[in-house]
Amino acid sequence: MASTQVAGGEATRRRLRPDKREAILRAAGEIFDIEGYERTSIDAVAAKSGVSKPTIYNHFGSKEQLFRDHVAFTAQVINARTSAAVHEIDPDCVQWREVLRHAALQLAECQRSDCSISLNRQLHAAVGRDPEVYQYVLDNAAGPILAMLADKFARLGETGRLDVADPDLTARQFLALISAELPEMSRLGTVAIDDESFTRAVDAGYETFLRAFASRPP
C-alpha cells in the first residue's frame, strides 16, 4: 500500500533543527524495530519524538522516506565508530599490519552491535518492499567508509606493502573476509559471540586477506 505523502514530494520538505530531526529519526528507529514497517504509524513516531504529525510529513514527506532517512542516519552513527580506525591506517607506518588489524576488528565489531543487528534486520525486511533502500543506504552511509578504505588500500599498494590492482574491489573483499564467519556464528544476529571467538574469526579473515594481497619479495 502506498505511503501517505504530502503534495509536492521533495519540494515540500522543510528544514528541521538538527536535534529535532535526530529525535524523530531515533524514535522512528525504535518503533520500526519493534513494530516493523507496516505496523509503524507516523502518529506513534510523532508522540515518541515530541513533535506533531504534520511536522514529520512536512520534513520527510512520507513514511517511506522517513524509513530511508532513519536507516541512513543509523548507518552513519555506526560508521562514525569505524571511520577513526580507518583514518589511522598509515601506509608508511612500520606497524601497518597491526594498525590494519585494529581497523579490521573495529569494522567487524560494528556488525555485532545491537544497533547494527537491528539495522540489518530492518534492511532485510525492507528490500522486498523498497528495492532502492539498500542503494540509498550505500550512497549515504556505507559508501564513504568503502571510499576511505579503498584510498588506504591504494596507498598501501603504492608503497609496495600490498598488491592492489583494484582498490575498490580490495576494500570490498577485505570487509567480506573479516566478517565472513559472523552471520553463522551469531545465528544471523540472534546469538551473542564471545570476545575470544569473535577475535579469532576476524583474525582468520584478516590473515587470509594478507596471504592474498601482501606483496611478496621478488
Per residue in 109-143, pLDDT (tens digit) is 887 877 777 888 888 888 888 888 888 777 877 78
Q: How far apart are CA 127 and CA 121, in angstroms?
A: 10
Q: Are residues 191 and 103 in the same domain?
A: yes
CATH of the domain at 107: 1.10.357.10
Q: Are residues 200 and 121 in the same domain?
A: yes
- In the predicted structure, residue 5 carries a pLDDT above the cut 50: no
DSSP character at residue 10:
G
Please report whether residue 218 resides in a domain. Answer: no
Q: What is the pTM assigned to this prediction? A: 0.78
Residues linked to residue 62 through DSSP beta bridges, in sequence order = 5
Please report whether residue 197 resides in a domain. Answer: yes
Average pLDDT over residues 16-40: 94
Match 580507518 to its residue by C-alpha cell. 86
Kindly report which listed range (3-12, 59-68, 82-91, 156-165) carries the lowest average pLDDT score. 3-12
Give the pLDDT confidence score for residue 13 in this predicted structure: 59
Last residue of a domain, one of 31, 61, 91: 61
The structural domain count of the chain equals: 2
Q: Are residues 40 and 76 in the same domain?
A: no
Q: How far apart are CA 16 and CA 169, in angstroms?
A: 38
CATH of the domain at 39: 1.10.10.60
- In the predicted structure, residue 35 carries a pLDDT above the cut 90: yes
Q: Are residues 9 and 101 in the same domain?
A: no
H/E stretch holding 90: none
- In the predicted structure, residue 88 carries a pLDDT above the cut 90: no
Q: Are residues 86 and 179 in the same domain?
A: yes
Give the pLDDT confidence score for residue 23 in this predicted structure: 96
User: Phi/psi class of residue 90: alpha, beta or left (left: φ > 0; alpha: ψ in -120 to 50)?
Assistant: beta
- In the predicted structure, residue 184 carries a pLDDT above the cut 70: yes
**pLDDT per residue over 51-78, tens digit each?**
999 999 999 999 999 999 998 888 888 8
Q: How far apart are CA 42 and CA 28, in angstroms?
A: 8
Of residues 157 and 73, the one with the higher pLDDT is 157
Give the pLDDT confidence score for residue 217 in this predicted structure: 60
Q: Are residues 41 and 135 in the same domain?
A: no
**pLDDT per residue over 7-21, tens digit each?**
344 434 567 899 999
Domain residues for the domain of 105 are 70-213
